[in-house]
Amino acid sequence: MRWLPLLLSFALPFGSLAAKKSSDSVDRFSEFHTKAQASSPLKLADASYKKLTSAPRDYSVAVLLTALEARFGCQLCSEFQPEWDLLGKSWTKSDKNGESRLIFGTLDFSNGRETFISLGLQSAPVLLLFQPTSGPYAAATNDPIRFDFTGPQSAEKIHEWLARHLPDRPHPPVSRPVNYIGWIVSIVSALGIAGVVSKAWPYVLPVIQNRNVWAGLSLIGILMFTSGHMFNQIRKVPYVAGDGRGGISYFAGGFQSQFGLETQIVAFIYGILSFATISLAVKAPRTRDPKIQQLMVIVWGAVLVLMYSFLLSVFRVKNGGYPFKLPPFM
pLDDT at 330: 67
Q: In what order do the strands lie in the sheet with 126-130?
A: 42-44, 102-108, 60-66, 126-130, 145-147
On the question of pLDDT at 59 being above 90, the answer is yes
Rounded to whole angstroms, the Cα distance separating 229 from 5 reads 94
| DSSP classification of residue 254 | S
159 Cβ neighbours under 8 A, 6+ residues apart: 87, 91, 171, 173, 174
Mean pLDDT, to the nearest integer, of 70-99? 92
Rounded to whole angstroms, the Cα distance separating 141 from 111 reads 28
Mean pLDDT, to the nearest integer, of 65-82? 92
Per DSSP, the residues of 261-329 read HHHHHHHHHHHHHHHHHHIIIIIHHH---HHHHHHHHHHHHHHHHHHHHHHHHHHHHH-TT----BTTB
Query: Quick check: 269 and 310 in contact, CB under 8 A?
Result: yes
Angle at 221 between CA 215 and CA 226, to 5 degrees: 125
The Cα-based distances of 52 to 38, 114, 261 in angstroms read: 17, 15, 66
Secondary structure of residue 20 in the 3-state scheme: helix
On the question of pLDDT at 4 being above 60, the answer is no
Phi, psi (5° rounding) for residue 279?
-65, -40
Mean pLDDT, to the nearest integer, of 132-150? 87
Task: Please give the sequence-ordered ranges of beta strands (E in DSSP) within 5-115, or none if there are none.
Answer: 42-44, 60-66, 102-108
List the one residue out of 305, 299, 296 whose CA is nearest residue 328.
Answer: 305
pLDDT at 178: 84
pLDDT at 158: 94
Query: Quick check: 254 and 318 in contact, CB under 8 A?
Result: yes
List where CATH 3.40.30.10 sits in the chain. Answer: 14-165
The Cα-based distances of 182 to 47, 84, 194 in angstroms read: 42, 22, 18
Q: Which residue has the higher pLDDT, 6 or 66?
A: 66
List the one residue out of 235, 268, 239 whose CA is nearest residue 251.
Answer: 239
On the question of pLDDT at 7 being above 70, the answer is no
Rounded mean pLDDT of the chain?
86
- Right CATH for 14-165 from 3.30.413.10, 2.40.50.100, 3.10.310.10, 3.40.30.10: 3.40.30.10
